[in-house]
Amino acid sequence: MFIHRSCITLLASLMPSLCMASSFSIDSRSESLYQQAVPYLQQANSKLEAVPSNFPTASAEEKQRSMALVDEAGVLLRPAITLLEQAAALEHPVAQYRLALIYVMLHPSDVIKEKACPLFEQSLVHGFAPAALEISSWCVAFTDTVQYQTALQAIETSMPLYEKYFPQPVVKLECRREEPMGMAMQWGSSRDYQAEIYRLQGDSNRAQRWEFYQKALDINDCYRVKRRMASRT
């Protein structure tokens, strides 16, 4: 059977991540730590979602109430951070992602690159799709690596491992028309994130751009991709 040399090259580049995605398993101790953190994360999120989107122009009374909500969220995040740090040290990809997301919320950009980017990168290498979106915003240098592109290609294989952890928050889902409100993040299903992965692949792969964009459209009618495809015609 004849196999084109380019196909062999592609398979060789994908094999490490494909094998990793199929063989990786989450340590039971790290899973227990992550699950202990989840209630704190949920309660903190409900506080932040209650902060109105017009906070900068709100009345003094509304600002005071909003700051109280932020402080309450901060108190809830403290035990969550401790638990997530322990789970992340045991290489729990979802814990790594959620911990890095907290760092994005709390720290300036230079600290994000130092503390959050390594966690996002480790999470993505283990096949957790949401990390790819934050990397594209905060850890741009990593998007130029072969490791990043290979991880994107392996996401579809690793998705079943993480299905039970969705929905997951992100600063912004680019495939959605609506914008995040206030301090709230957007939550996406595994299908939403698969659409985002196809969008990211289309953004970086000129040769297969429209093929990847069409896959994103087929999943959730990706708004950003639809705009780009419309401008093409």
**Residue 167 phi, psi (nearest 5):** -75, 160
**Whether the Cβ atoms of residue 209 and residue 225 lie closer than 8 Å to each other:** no
| Per-residue confidence (pLDDT) for residue 110, from 0 to 100 | 84
Q: Which residues of 215-233 are buried (b: 16+ CB within 10 A; e: fewer)?
A: bbbebbebbbbeebbeeee
The pLDDT of residue 9: 42
User: What pLDDT is recorded for position 108?
Assistant: 84
**Confidence (pLDDT) at 55:** 66
- The average pLDDT across 35-44 equals 97
Which pLDDT band, with edges at 50, 70 and 90, does 1 fall under? very low
The reported pLDDT for the residue numbered 20 is: 47
pLDDT classification of 11: cutoffs 50, 70, 90: very low
d(CA 84, CA 53): 28
The pLDDT assigned to 2 comes to: 39
Half-sphere exposure of 76 (CA within 13 A, CB side): 19
What pTM was estimated for this model as a whole? 0.86
Lookup result for tokens 């951070």: 81
Query: What pLDDT score does 201 carry?
Result: 96
Specify the pLDDT at position 125. 95
Residues whose CB is less than 8 angstroms from the CB of residue 163 and which lie 6 or more positions away in sequence, other chains included: 190
Rounded to whole angstroms, the Cα distance separating 47 from 193 reads 25
Could you read off the pLDDT of 52-111 as tens digits, one per residue?
777 666 778 887 888 899 899 999 999 999 999 999 999 999 999 999 999 998 888 888
What pLDDT is attached to residue 230? 83
